[in-house]
Amino acid sequence: MNKDDMILISVDDHIIEPPDMFKNHLPAKYLDDAPRLVHNPDGSDTWQFRETVIPNVALNAVAGRPKEEYGLEPQGLDEIRKGCFDAAERVKDMNAGGVLATMNFPSFPGFAGRLFATDDSDFSLALVRAYNDWHIDEWCAAHPGRFIPMALPVIWDAELCAAEVRRVSEKGVHSLTFTENPATLGYPSFHDDYWTPLWQALVETETVMNVHIGSSGKLSIPAPDSPMDVMITLQPMNIVQAAADLLWSAPIKKYPTLKIALSEGGTGWIPYFLERVDRTYDMHSTWTHQDFGGKLPSEVFREHFMTCFISDPVGVKLRHEIGVDNICWEMDYPHSDSMWPGAPEELDAVFTTYDVPDDEIDKMTHLNAMKLYHFEPFAHVPREQATVGALRAAAGDHDVTIQALSKHEKGGTSFADFQASAKEIAGSKS
């Protein structure tokens, strides 16, 4: 397949929320107490909510900047591409990168909305609903066919969370961001019956639970003073814990149509993981009393889990051992692992190296995502206008040149530095 003929839908990108996101969706009585974006004397911007200050408004939103500026930067909205926080500008960036559609994870509230959990349940619920309505009715609705809508959960209450899943499903949403480990955030684990209402709502509405790496606020690291390179290397491996925890959980066996996406988790590790779970089952199920109804755990994994990759040559090479129907592509805009704006070229190189046929390319680059999230972009963007070549032609002279935007001095960064920021981004208050 010629790269210009590919159709790209990314299932993992990110939003840097704009400062006015609450004004049209939060009841007036709560507006004065809502999270607010504060411009500080040193030129940085921070989201502040009650006693919590999110230390970095645009953590790692470095798309379009030279690699020398990668890190915990940027610190202000004036140091990032407008496409990070403006939907119209995002679409221009997507066109220039040849990308038809993206699904966007939240930033300052944390991947599971933990920041919004207050001692006032009504206020907390209003914040989650306001965020979801802004995301669905403003960010996504302004550009039909270009964004897969995703909802924040009511992480502190399973019943209310189930109700919110049902509410947003009526708006056409089939995607829920969640934590990879609720127990680390102080809530019952996936093995607790507490979450039964949520599982039921997800299944009834055909909504996918997306567990993103780092969404528990915990990352495996040998020591707090380890170099950042250690954490970056291990990031995709963190999702392995969530995959094992969920695969061996009761809901996977109880709800045959439950779907879970391992967001930003990569794919190269999966063949060994599947081999390992099958051996674990064979060697130990007689005394651990696991029962997959006559199926192997690897078979059940393929029935329930979607995985995603950025370029991941090893995963593409081993795609048949993973399951081509279980793989989606992601771009990770605007973070430092992102392929933007050169995704078509990088993907084309990988697909060519491993002689991937057109039908498999189509599945991994857009068809699997469309099916999983009940997303129909071609109802709004004709297929012939949705290809890499057509979108780039539509982008015209949109500027995607690398530009140095940093206005702050940079120093060495350790895992401890990152954890101070990432813990707040994840929404962990533990």
Helix/strand/coil for 331 = coil
Beta strands 45-49; 36-39: pairing state: antiparallel
CA distance 113 to 133: 14
Residue among 334, 331, 327, 306 at smallest CA distance from 70: 334
CA distance 402 to 197: 47
Residue among 39, 124, 90 at smallest CA distance from 340: 90
pLDDT value at position 412?
42
Question: Who's near 344: CB < 8 A, 6+ residues apart?
Answer: 3, 4, 6, 8, 97, 98, 388
Domain with 284 in it: what CATH number? 3.20.20.140
- Note the pLDDT tens digit of each residue in 266-278: 999 999 999 999 9
CA distance 364 to 374: 15
Q: What is the DSSP letter of 355?
A: T
* Stated pTM of the model: 0.94
pLDDT value at position 420?
55
Beta strands 147-148; 175-178: pairing state: unpaired
pLDDT value at position 59?
79
pLDDT value at position 236?
77
CA distance 281 to 283: 6
CA distance 176 to 202: 9
- Tens of pLDDT along the chain (430 residues) come to 999 999 999 999 999 999 999 999 999 999 999 999 999 998 889 999 999 998 878 878 999 988 888 876 688 999 999 999 999 999 999 999 999 999 999 999 999 999 999 999 999 999 999 999 999 999 999 999 999 999 999 999 999 999 999 999 999 999 999 999 999 999 999 999 999 999 999 999 999 999 999 888 766 667 878 888 887 888 777 799 999 999 999 999 999 999 999 999 999 999 999 999 999 999 999 999 999 999 999 999 999 999 999 989 999 999 999 999 999 999 999 999 999 999 999 999 999 999 999 999 999 999 999 999 999 999 999 999 999 999 999 999 999 999 888 776 554 444 454 455 555 444 444 3
- Note the pLDDT tens digit of each residue in 35-48: 999 999 988 899 99
Note down the domain range covering 181: 3-426
pLDDT value at position 188?
97
Helix/strand/coil for 128 = helix
314-340 exposure pattern, b = at least 16 Cβ within 10 A, e = fewer: bbbbbbeebbbebbbbbbbbbbbbbbb
Residues 244 and 300: beta-carbon distance below 8 Å? no
Domains: count for the chain: 1
